[in-house]
A and B are shown apart, each in its own frame.
Chain A
Amino acid sequence: MTLVDRTRAVLAQAIEVYRGTPDEARLVATMARLDEPLRVAIAGRVKSGKSTLLNALVGERLAATDAGECTRIVTWYEDGHRYQVTLYPRDGEPRPARFDREDGAISVDLGGLAPDDVEQMVVTWPSQQLRRATLIDTPGIGSLSENVSRRAWALLATEEEETPADAVLYLMRHLHAGDVEFLRAFHDSEVSRPNPVNAIAVLSRADEIGAGRPNSMTSARQIAARLSTDPVVRRVVQTVVPMAGLLAETAVTLTETEVAHLRKVAERTPREVEALLLTADRFLTQMPELGLTSFERQHLLDRFGVFGVRLASTILRRGPVTATELARDLAERSGLEELQAVLHSLFFARKDVLKSRSALLALDQLAHDQPRPGSLALATEVEEIIASAHPFNELRVLSAVRAGWVAGKPAVLEDLERVIGGNGTTRAQRLSLEPGATEAEQTTAADLALARWQRRAESPMSGHELVVAARVAVRSCEGMLAELAAAR
């Protein structure tokens, strides 16, 4: 019986126990959630580029973005059959809201409600991307407007253990690990208890790091790599990915007209372009022979930023490139593809585990808070699953390793993390093989890993924690070998 099946069974049992109580509806919803897409919240400090990243991930400009603070209501973006927006007021029944798309972004008519009166907003939008994951956009922390901040808090620190999101993307601008704000950015956002199991950090607005110099992304990559190995960061997130959000958003929504305008810039000599792009103001006003109106120039800047215009014109000058090729190139350089790959291997490939985890945590809390005849048995059953399901053991060891609770040589711990799926759950990733490795190669590697971890589990030199962790690793190796045997 798979983990999801076991979770579903215990939830069904719970619905029986709580039938007729106010909690029944919640349990039914929790059960339904198992079949829904994974819920990924996008959190971070104010102006860290949350809405921009959301648009880039969806591949459409849905969330409004602006220079000032913009997102003021917690907004869910989910897949559906028709386009619709539902408001959940603080007082009163949910109601549909009128909306239109102004300049691409959805503009919602709150129907007389102040943003403060709206608990949350759900945007239903038919989209391939949203079918894979429901995205939650949040107002930032540290906003100058007290209410906006408080609203973020309300979502982030929910009172029940039940968590609205299964996984979290933390956005941060360039900060330092020793920085208290940095820690706060994690500490505040308890959408789903910061945990290296279900959280990824995104070094957003990466193009700003070198103030838009051509090598900005290289700098950003180095910084992200350094941050990912920082012990404080490792405690709270799995990895740090750099990303130029604006560029990514534009890359996935690039239009032919924009490319045509960029070509006009690319026709100029590099020296001319450099002088023109010295400042944003100069780009808007100088060189009338460029053949672009000030409106068109402003549009380019809004969409690409100074860095983006520099980069795109350089790519276009290098050789004949179609609009599609340019879009792909920009998406890759913006870090979007890398982020999607990381999301896939760390979140989507593990979605059943993450969803079951959310459901079981909710159920466990309920069983202890609202005792009823039969709830004790439920709690025992939940604990049984949590304690025995191998994927959970892997996650638990992973967080223990990340938190520094398991003592061992760095190379051994790195191996441990990999084998239990810390860098991705495919066999190739666990065994540190090329993605295209044959099954024979995989079997050999898995055998070796098994022997290695059996030895470590039985070695009298291993500390208690490492022995426990090694047993989990052994079980992971056995699992892979079993899969390989079944495939043969």
Chain B
Amino acid sequence: MAQKTTRAAADGDTAAAARGVVDQGLKACTAYGRPDLGERLTLARRKLADPGIHVVVVGEFKQGKSSLVNALLGVTACPVDDDVATALPTYVRYGAEVGARVILEGDPPVREPIPTDQIRKHTLEGGQVLADGRRVVGVEVLLPRNMLAGGLTVVDTPGLGGLGSAHAAASLAATSMADAVLFITDASQELTRTELDFLRRARDLCGTVACVVTKTDFYPAWRTIRDLNEQHLRQVGDVPLMAVSSSLRLHAVKHNDAQMNTESGFRELVRYVTDEVGRGGADRIAKEAAREVIAVCGQFSEQFRGERSALADPSSAQQVIDELTGTKQRVEMLRAAASRWNQTLSDGVADLSADIEHDFRGRIRKVIAEADEAIEEADPADTWAQMEPWLLSRVSYELVTNYTYLRDRAADLSQVVGDHFQQASGDLGQLAVYDPAPLLNRTEFEADITLERMTARKQTMVALKGSYSGILMFTMLPGLLGITGLAPIAIPIGLMMGRSSLRDEKRRQLAQRKSQAKNAIRRYCDEIQFVMGKDSRDTLRRIQRQLRDHYGTRAEELNRTTAEALRSATEAVKRTQVERERRLKDLDAELVRLGQLQQRAEAVCK
């Protein structure tokens, strides 16, 4: 425990240290007149200020998800009701003062402030469309709580309603965007098969998943249930299990009773959320920011080294200028549409588009086959009412699987593109005419390959998150699936008076109903395919644009760096001996300063 605390403290310093190096890097950008690199660091700075770490709370209906969120924060942020369940995701995040906003459908979604007494109306079943017809897709609650100050956002979600349901599919998709998932199950019974299935899939998608057993105050046998769940969880893998009582925690907060707080089991949960999830996430973001600083430092060093070589040895100046000119040509190539990374990207997206569509088509065909089978087995007149939710859940399940496939394949592509870019630009780096290592007395920084790759893969997630804003995933599926709905089928009333054996007539009607039902399913699936086909093509295009912009900007930066280096090298030749020596001293000082900044940034990354 003590060890954990020190580590946690170190993590807190990481964020502060990251902020420090980014600020210094920003100063350097201004001093050296490179606003393009400054922009890159401003983005990192913004991300550091608001890391936006999402902890998504999921679970079946009525397991006490909202109560848990309230107890975790020690205030009533999410409405709780005996009967009515949460219908919209509620995002609880930091605000200087208490407030609430509704998130309205749109791209990007619009936020509008609402009075806090209206939270209840919006989150619980019912109030989902505003007077002007705009759909509310989420509610944001702002609270001045210390726990949230680090950028933590706790998301309370609607109940799953079984793994197969459309809601569950949407929640699963949302977990792929989350930094951590808290799976809630109450102590009334052990985990069911559907719950375990969900946990397994959520773990595949998110990685950081914990299981929380609630209502330990009400169920005397909660220890038995917890132990049973522990056994079940072993099948899923490394999932920490905690048992809590939300009502006891709220009681403890109200009476400021530390012992009761421990008894409620929340101490452990709070530690998990703040340390492992919150700090872990903040730590990762801090490292990413420091990476950006290192990259920017690299650009500056590159620029100065060329000039310094030309200054230090005027006789070799022409050689330096020649080499830099060569580099410049290669950078130009990197920027061109015909460059290898750009080709890889265009080809990859085209292939991916075809594969995703084929995959989805295959899945829908399977659904249609299953539906046909079900229709053959039973009279649609009896089962039609259940057919629609079944179809909806089946299709959303396939949608999520298809979406996961898209996400993984796009991330792979992103990595390949990144590798190609790295290879091409890496060749440029080998032109270190002047080696500043002895001067700076430092060891060469070993590029962390995994982090490099993560940065490449992250570009895909940036594109995906941008398209759905992380928020719409909850509502995207049901929204999309609601496009047409199943057409009703005619059911002649089965009232027959008197004696009339109509078995044949009945059979004929049944056959008719069946073919009617099959046609309705096909029409519906066609529509889904049409909408989803467009949607996934758009998503891929967005990913392509994101990647092209990302690496395009990088190439642009490199170009500017080489151009600057070339310019200063050319100027160096024209300088007088005195000027040259003064400039040389300045440059060495700058390089030392840059080296120090880089070292500090590297320390953050470790």
Residues of A bordering B, CB below 8 Å: 46-47, 67-69, 142-144, 149, 173-176, 178-184, 187, 205, 208-212, 216, 219, 222-223, 226, 232, 235, 278-281, 284, 298, 301-302, 305-307, 380, 383-384, 387-388, 393, 396-397, 400, 405-406, 464-465, 468-469, 471
25 contacts between A and B (CB under 8 A): A46-B189, A47-B188, A68-B224, A144-B192, A175-B61, A179-B61, A179-B162, A180-B389, A181-B161, A209-B82, A210-B82, A211-B247, A219-B82, A222-B83, A226-B83, A280-B216, A280-B217, A301-B220, A302-B220, A306-B220, A307-B218, A388-B499, A396-B494, A396-B495, A465-B493
B527 within 8 A of A: no
- How far is the CB of B482 from the nearest CB of chain A, in Å? 13
- How far is the CB of A200 from the nearest CB of chain B, in Å? 19
B454 within 8 A of A: no
Please tell me if the beta carbons of A279 and B263 are within 8 angstroms of each other in the complex: yes
Please tell me if the beta carbons of A181 and B193 are within 8 angstroms of each other in the complex: no
Q: How far is the CA of A305 from the CA of B222 in the complex (A)?
A: 12
- How far is the CB of A53 from the nearest CB of chain B, in Å? 15
In the complex, per-residue mask of B488-513: 1 if CB is within 8 Å of any chain A CB, else 0: 00010111111111000000000000
Q: How far is the CA of A470 from the CA of B540 in the complex (A)?
A: 60
- Say which residue of B215, B385, B390, B494 sits within 8 Å of A180 (CB atoms): B390
By a CB distance below 8 angstroms, the chain A residues around B389 are 178, 180, 183
By a CB distance below 8 angstroms, the chain B residues around A471 are 497
- How far is the CB of B543 from the nearest CB of chain A, in Å? 32
Please tell me if the beta carbons of B62 and A174 are within 8 angstroms of each other in the complex: yes
By a CB distance below 8 angstroms, the chain B residues around A184 are 162
Q: How far is the CA of A406 from the CA of B82 in the complex (A)?
A: 34
Please tell me if the beta carbons of B82 and A223 are within 8 angstroms of each other in the complex: yes
B135 within 8 A of A: no
Q: How far is the CA of A67 from the CA of B190 in the complex (A)?
A: 8
Q: Quick one: closest A residue to B158, CB to CB?
A: A176
Q: How far is the CA of A340 from the CA of B496 in the complex (A)?
A: 34
- Contact A387/B497 with A181-B162, A280-B217, A302-B220 known, Cβ cut-off 8 Å: yes
Tally B residues with Cβ within 8 Å of A: 53
Please tell me if the beta carbons of A187 and B386 are within 8 angstroms of each other in the complex: yes
Q: Quick one: closest B residue to A69, CB to CB?
A: B190
In the complex, per-residue mask of B249-287: 1 if CB is within 8 Å of any chain A CB, else 0: 001000000000001000000000000000000000000
- How far is the CB of B17 from the nearest CB of chain A, in Å? 43
- Contact A405/B165 with A174-B62, A280-B217, A301-B220 known, Cβ cut-off 8 Å: no
Please tell me if the beta carbons of A67 and B193 are within 8 angstroms of each other in the complex: no
Please tell me if the beta carbons of B188 and A208 are within 8 angstroms of each other in the complex: yes
- How far is the CB of B74 from the nearest CB of chain A, in Å? 17
- Say which residue of A67, A180, A232, A393 sits within 8 Å of B221 (CB atoms): A67
- How far is the CB of A321 from the nearest CB of chain B, in Å? 25
By a CB distance below 8 angstroms, the chain A residues around B61 are 174-176, 179
Please tell me if the beta carbons of B162 and A405 are within 8 angstroms of each other in the complex: no
Please tell me if the beta carbons of B218 and A280 are within 8 angstroms of each other in the complex: yes
Please tell me if the beta carbons of A388 and B495 are within 8 angstroms of each other in the complex: no
By a CB distance below 8 angstroms, the chain B residues around A69 are 190
- Contact A176/B217 with A46-B189, A235-B385 known, Cβ cut-off 8 Å: no
Q: How far is the CA of A307 from the CA of B159 in the complex (A)?
A: 25
Q: How far is the CA of A322 from the CA of B82 in the complex (A)?
A: 33
Please tell me if the beta carbons of A176 and B82 are within 8 angstroms of each other in the complex: no
Q: How far is the CA of A184 from the CA of B193 in the complex (A)?
A: 14
By a CB distance below 8 angstroms, the chain B residues around A209 are 82-83
Please tell me if the beta carbons of B386 and A278 are within 8 angstroms of each other in the complex: no
In the complex, per-residue mask of B202-225: 1 if CB is within 8 Å of any chain A CB, else 0: 000000000000011111111011
By a CB distance below 8 angstroms, the chain B residues around A397 are 495
- Contact A68/B493 with A183-B389, A280-B217 known, Cβ cut-off 8 Å: no
Q: How far is the CA of A475 from the CA of B498 in the complex (A)?
A: 13
- How far is the CB of A307 from the nearest CB of chain B, in Å? 8
Q: How far is the CA of A205 from the CA of B187 in the complex (A)?
A: 13
- How far is the CB of B360 from the nearest CB of chain A, in Å? 22
- Contact A68/B190 with A178-B161, A280-B222 known, Cβ cut-off 8 Å: yes
B24 within 8 A of A: no
Please tell me if the beta carbons of B251 and A278 are within 8 angstroms of each other in the complex: yes
- Contact A211/B232 with A306-B220, A471-B497 known, Cβ cut-off 8 Å: no
Q: How far is the CA of A406 from the CA of B491 in the complex (A)?
A: 11
Please tell me if the beta carbons of B161 and A144 are within 8 angstroms of each other in the complex: no
- How far is the CB of B65 from the nearest CB of chain A, in Å? 13
Identify the 7 closest CB pairs spanning chains A and B, nearest first. A279-B217, A67-B221, A181-B162, A280-B220, A219-B82, A47-B189, A179-B161
- Say which residue of A142, A211, A284, A464 sits within 8 Å of B194 (CB atoms): A142
Please tell me if the beta carbons of A46 and B218 are within 8 angstroms of each other in the complex: no
B176 within 8 A of A: no
- How far is the CB of B375 from the nearest CB of chain A, in Å? 15
Please tell me if the beta carbons of B501 and A380 are within 8 angstroms of each other in the complex: yes
Q: How far is the CA of A47 from the CA of B495 in the complex (A)?
A: 39
Please tell me if the beta carbons of A384 and B390 are within 8 angstroms of each other in the complex: no
B153 within 8 A of A: no
B393 within 8 A of A: yes
Please tell me if the beta carbons of B220 and A387 are within 8 angstroms of each other in the complex: no
- Contact A144/B193 with A210-B82, A219-B83 known, Cβ cut-off 8 Å: yes
By a CB distance below 8 angstroms, the chain A residues around B159 are 176, 179
B475 within 8 A of A: no
Please tell me if the beta carbons of B263 and A281 are within 8 angstroms of each other in the complex: yes
- How far is the CB of B391 from the nearest CB of chain A, in Å? 11
